[in-house]
């Protein structure tokens, strides 16, 4: 296997792991979100399941075994209510966008185009959940500084 193919496969496996985590996380979101946003959470859950399944096929097509989902995932913060569920949904989308930006950097051709589309979709969902955008979706350092500046002050 060429070095470029190995790099692409590594990025695809990381994206698959992120999609596994997003599917899990949206299970938590769905259990805590207010009724009026439940269909939005369901649509995101379905989108991540579809991306997860497509990534697993792509990894198999490259001759590798897709990374398996964990039984459970640590949440970045407690999710006791709908407001926290909305924050979690935005965080999930930011994380997914970040790994897809890595796939865009690592891949070429159709894989790169699909990853760019997935990054865009995650960024749009993050904006919908958060109510505001970041300058460079998928770049962790930009998302972290935007989150810090958006945090309420005492």
Q: Dump pLDDT digits (tens) for 99-131.
A: 999 999 999 999 999 999 999 999 999 999 998
> From CA 86, how far away is CA 65, in angstroms rounded?
33
Q: Is residue 91 part of a domain?
A: yes
Q: Are 98 and 137 in contact (CB under 8 A)?
A: no
Count of domains observed in the chain: 1
pTM for the whole thing?
0.86
Residue 8 is part of a domain; what is its CATH number?
Answer: 1.20.1260.10
Q: Give the pLDDT score at 122.
A: 96
Q: What is the mean pLDDT of each run of 10 residues along the chain (154 residues)?
A: 90 98 98 97 98 97 96 96 98 96 95 97 95 66 40 31
Q: Give the pLDDT score at 132.
A: 76
Residue 14 CA from chain centroid, whole number: 10
Q: How far apart, in Å, are the Cα atoms of 60 and each of 9, 14, 29, 49, 107?
A: 10, 14, 30, 17, 16
Q: Give the pLDDT score at 150.
A: 35
Quote the domain boundaries for residue 12.
3-149
């Amino acid at each position: 296997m060429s070095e470029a193919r190995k790099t692409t496969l590594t990025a695809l496996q990381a994206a698959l792991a992120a999609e596994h985590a997003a599917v899990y996380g949206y299970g938590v979101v769905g259990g805590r979100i207010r009724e009026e946003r439940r269909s939005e959470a369901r649509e995101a859950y379905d989108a991540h399941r579809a991306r997860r399944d497509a990534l697993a096929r792509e990894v198999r097509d490259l001759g590798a075994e897709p990374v398996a989902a964990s039984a459970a995932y640590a949440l970045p913060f407690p999710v006791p209510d709908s407001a926290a569920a909305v924050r979690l949904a935005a965080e999930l989308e930011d994380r997914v966008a970040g790994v897809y930006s890595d796939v865009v950097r690592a891949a070429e051709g159709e894989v790169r185009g699909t990853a760019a589309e997935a990054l865009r979709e995650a960024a749009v969902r993050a904006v919908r959940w958060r109510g505001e955008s970041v300058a460079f979706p998928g770049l962790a350092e930009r998302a972290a500084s935007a989150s810090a500046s958006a945090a309420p002050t005492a």
